[in-house]
Structure 1
Amino acid sequence: MALPAARQSWRDRTLHGREATRIHDGDSLARHWRGVHRYSRPTLLIVALACATTLMVNAAPEERRARTAAHSTVPREVRALWVTRTSLVSPADVARVVRDAQRYGFNTLLVQVRGRGDAYFNESIEPRAESLAAQPTAFDPLEELIAAAHPLGLEVHAWISVNLAASATTLPTSRTHVVHAHPEWLMVPRALVATLGPIDPHRPEYVQRLAQWTRAHNRTVEGLFVSPIPVAAAAYTSEVVADLVRRYAVDGVHLDYIRYPNAEFDYSPAALDAFRAEMLPTLETETRTRLDTRREVAATAYADAFPDRWAAFRRARLTSLVEQLAGSVRTLRPNVLVSAAVIPDPREASDHRLQEWTVWLASGLVNVVCPMMYTSSAQRFAAQADLIREAAGAAVWAGIGAWQLSPAETVRRIDAARARRFAGVALFSYDSLAARRQAFLATVDRQAFQAATGGAPGSR
């Protein structure tokens, strides 16, 4: 439910399935999870608002977890269900999600309340989702879902698409949307450096050409991404998340699409300028002069001259964004859990998406990772699970691509996750199961959830 709080701030079916074709196995050495500690770099505004709201907002999740602990000395297995924004567009949809989750044995809902730089909750910094246009403005999907879920013992985690900000097929209509308000923050592929470099980002053709290129490459690039590199862009995203956590009694924040589309991004003018500024103090005058001369005809001069540092710079800026987001959450409500949906293979994630999630976990920036293990092969799933166990330990919710599996195959994936002592599982997704949803979830509940607890339907 929404919580009364001070409000000061600026006023997005998903493409997870596509990841299945780009996630590979690999041999990779990664750091083990070494526990959790808190990171925060709060702004003065966040600190001031936190003092007024933290105790009130924290109460419900803490009490619920305390009741769980009192009845069992064994940590509760997380049985999560991803719920995309298409199931949040009416009160009836929201009620159905909660009813089915409770009926079929789930205890955690990962609810997509920021799909593409928009909001499925009220009075957000960002524009209200266009798919809610048919509903009264008083309809607040997140508030209604929390109000229905919490009395049933269901946790609600706000699923945030972090860097993916818009579809390239249908651009947002609101002029306050980040894509239109701050096109200078959008990631640019290397292939468009020469084309977009001379164009003012605020001219309409800048976004139009970027969207046109993205549509032509939609098998590998999901949409328009906001870069983690500009300081103002990171601050904006952090405030979006802080505003949500400040006002709603969510149990967790689930970070998704917190990555680069691939290693050919971000070559925007802002990103290239930031890298140059970071490199200058480390260079001899002669080197600076030579590179600046080269930069007059090739904007990528510094990135080309120092490819390893360029990759490390982009990884570090993404990690810094994770740190800012987690810090904003924990400053306001220290007990809210922070999770991240990640590419399963740590090497693939680091090299090709510049997503160093093993560092995030080892440093305590996130409490748990949710590797998107979307494969129809049981052998491949097992290999991925072994790799992830080595890299992350138990702080894992195994992401299972249920839409492409039978109920029996899904149960076997859950068993494989349990065999590796992962903290839980997450099924993708409630929406993608479509017409077979009821029978599918009933079978999973009976064969995986009830079988593990010896309980009645829906027992946790």
Structure 2
Amino acid sequence: MKQFRVLLAILIAVTALVAVLFVWVQPTAPKLPQVRALWVTRFDYSNPEDVRNIIRNVGEAGFTDVFFQVRGNGTAFYNSSLEPWAYELSGHRIADLGKDPGWDPLQLAVDSARPLGLRVHAYMNVLPGWKGRAEPPESAGQLWTAHPDWFMVDSFGDKMLPTSGWYAFVNPVVPEVRQHLKGIVKELCAYDVAGIHLDYIRYPHDYHLVAKQNYPDATDQELRRRADFSYDSVSQSALYEKYGWDVTKKQIEDFRRDSVTKVVRDLAYEMQVERPGSCILSASVMGNPVEGRSHAYQDSGHWVRAGLIDWAVQMNYATRSFDRYISSMKKAAGRKGFRNSVVVGVYLKHDEERILRQIEAVKKSKSRGLALFSYTFLFGENHQITEKGRSVLKAIRP
């Protein structure tokens, strides 16, 4: 019996040693390179020289990636056969919508970035379909006039109206909308871009903040109803087909979340068809993932965990809640997802001290990297670096 106990003890010790050695010799996954990205909006450029200066500044500043906006609200800043040229490229007159400016901003950005080793992501607003109170010319074939039935409908049964500074959104439930957006991604994949970057991929829950412009006599309660979308016939039919007539609030919310996620899945699939394994799909997501999921129907944590997107670029533009939102995103995406796929966004409109503190917090968070919004706060008039820009660029250096 004593010998048996000795042998058993030796066997247990050897087994434990083998287990330790097995763990020790397992190869560790290589650490993914850190992302340092900058958003460049369509408002930052209007001519070829602007684009050349922007890309040179971004590359020389040490950024690895640039989100270069080429679609705002159903108009294109690249050569598209699906949507008209943006009028901003031809003098800022809506009457010039669709006029060929004679140059291609996206192609120029890609060509200018290549020698610098800077990765260009074609940045598109996904669901916005028009902005401003003026009507686009019908001859341009813009979505607002060509496909009025594609737009969201509020709880009063009225089509969503844009304001002078805010968008009207197309409806992700409409099959033709999803097909159109897939076509946009297909066009963008034809360029030698490193990725496609999605923005406004959500429901416009915050429309009540601007709706007063269109409904000046509405009460706060009415404005909230004006921001409750979409009650169009296509959505209602699809909802009732799935859940029946006795539909609950939770089922409506699940349906809307699924409709947004379906767009993400469609666009991810289209990218894999066009550029298998060679193009990064990223999305700007709300800073608070809990609010994003509950109110804007943007399930960013699920997108990361399910591998639908490569990067969730968290628009963490909060002041007091910055660290808390990082923790919330880590919980939503999971620790591995946060480490590999979450890029934390910092808003450069804040004061310099706050920005530097937030950049340091991102570095300590063990996320995939950081993104800064936006170019114009770093480089001001004539594309010259600002004082804030000097401090920020010094802080982000690896």
Moved more, 170-179 or 92-101: 170-179
> What is the CA–CA distance in structure 1 between the aligned matches of 2:392 and 2:248, rounded to whole Å?
51
Q: Is contact 1:111-1:159 (8 Å) kept? A: yes
What's the counterpart of residue 391 of structure 1?
332
Displacement of 1:347:
1.8
Structure 1 residue corresponding to 2:376, chosen from 417, 431, 434: 431
Shift in alpha-carbon separation, 1:266–1:444, aligned structure 2, 3 A = same
Q: Residue deviations 1:234-287, cap 9 Å, x none? A: 111111111211x2011011110000002711112221122123334xxxxxxx
What's the counterpart of residue 186 of structure 1?
151
What's the counterpart of residue 260 of structure 1?
203
What letter is aligned with 2:362?
A
> What is the CA–CA distance in structure 2 between the aligned matches of 1:417 and 1:117, rounded to whole Å?
34
What letter is aligned with 1:405?
D
Q: Match of 2:370, SS?
A: strand
Q: Is contact 1:339-1:366 (8 Å) kept? A: yes
Q: Is contact 1:124-1:244 (8 Å) kept? A: no
> What is the CA–CA distance in structure 2 between the aligned matches of 1:237 and 1:168, rounded to whole Å?
21
Confirm or deny that 1:78 pairs with 2:35: yes
What's the counterpart of residue 324 of structure 1?
266
Shift in alpha-carbon separation, 1:327–1:166, aligned structure 2, 3 A = same
Shift in alpha-carbon separation, 1:385–1:168, aligned structure 2, 3 A = same
Shift in alpha-carbon separation, 1:129–1:136, aligned structure 2, 3 A = closer
Confirm or deny that 1:243 pairs with 2:187: yes
Confirm or deny that 1:442 pairs with 2:390: yes
Displacement of 1:348:
0.5
Q: Is contact 1:124-1:240 (8 Å) kept? A: no
> What is the CA–CA distance in structure 1 between the aligned matches of 2:369 and 2:81, rounded to whole Å?
31
Structure 2 residue corresponding to 1:413, chosen from 358, 367, 370: 358
Percent of counterpart pairs with the same letter? 31
Runs of 4+ with deviation above 4 angstroms: none
Structure 1 residue corresponding to 2:348, chosen from 388, 402, 406: 402
Which structure: larger Rg?
2
> Whose RCO is larger (CA < 8 A, sep 6+)?
1
Q: Is contact 2:302-2:332 (8 Å) kept? A: no
Q: Residue deviations 1:393-442, cap 9 Å, x none? A: 21211111112231x43232222111111111111111255458433222
> What is the CA–CA distance in structure 2 between the aligned matches of 1:154 and 1:171, rounded to whole Å?
38
> What is the CA–CA distance in structure 1 between the aligned matches of 2:31 and 2:163, rounded to whole Å?
48
What letter is aligned with 1:386?
S
Spell out the pairing of 1:207-218 with structure 2 (5 A cutoff).
Answer: 210-211=160-161, 214-215=162-163
> What is the CA–CA distance in structure 2 between the aligned matches of 1:230 and 1:123, rounded to whole Å?
22
> What is the CA–CA distance in structure 2 between the aligned matches of 1:370 and 1:136, rounded to whole Å?
32
Q: Match of 2:349, SS?
A: helix
Spell out the pairing of 1:57-456 with structure 2 (5 A cutoff).
Answer: 74-134=31-91, 137-174=101-138, 175-190=140-155, 192-193=156-157, 196=158, 210-211=160-161, 214-215=162-163, 222-245=166-189, 247-262=190-205, 264-280=228-244, 305-334=247-276, 335-375=278-318, 377=319, 379-392=320-333, 393-394=338-339, 395-406=341-352, 408-433=353-378, 434-435=380-381, 437-449=385-397, 452=398
Displacement of 1:368:
1.2
Q: Is contact 1:389-1:420 (8 Å) kept? A: no
What letter is aligned with 2:129?
A
Q: Is contact 1:88-1:120 (8 Å) kept? A: no
Displacement of 1:189:
1.5
Displacement of 1:98:
0.8
- Number of residue pairs aligned between Structure 1 and Structure 2: 331
What's the counterpart of residue 211 of structure 2?
none
Spell out the pairing of 1:24-63 with structure 2 (5 A cutoff).
Answer: none
> What is the CA–CA distance in structure 2 between the aligned matches of 1:324 and 1:312, rounded to whole Å?
18
> What is the CA–CA distance in structure 1 between the aligned matches of 2:177 and 2:80, rounded to whole Å?
20
Q: Is contact 1:275-1:310 (8 Å) kept? A: yes
> What is the CA–CA distance in structure 2 between the aligned matches of 1:82 and 1:141, rounded to whole Å?
15
CA-based RMSD? 2.1
Q: Residue deviations 1:271-314, cap 9 Å, x none? A: 1122123334xxxxxxxxxx5xxxxxxxxxx6xx4222111111
Q: Is contact 1:86-1:431 (8 Å) kept? A: no
Q: Is contact 2:377-2:388 (8 Å) kept? A: no
Q: Is contact 2:202-2:296 (8 Å) kept? A: yes
Displacement of 1:391:
2.0
Q: TM-score, normalized by length of structure 2?
A: 0.78
What letter is aligned with 1:234?
R
**Structure 2, unaligned stretches of length 5 or more?**
1-29, 92-98, 206-226
Q: Residue deviations 1:67-121, cap 9 Å, x none? A: xxxxxx6532211110000223201110111111122221211011011111111
Q: Match of 1:390, SS?
A: helix
Q: Match of 1:404, SS?
A: coil
What letter is aligned with 2:81?
S
> What is the CA–CA distance in structure 1 between the aligned matches of 2:191 and 2:376, rounded to whole Å?
24
What letter is aligned with 1:369?
A
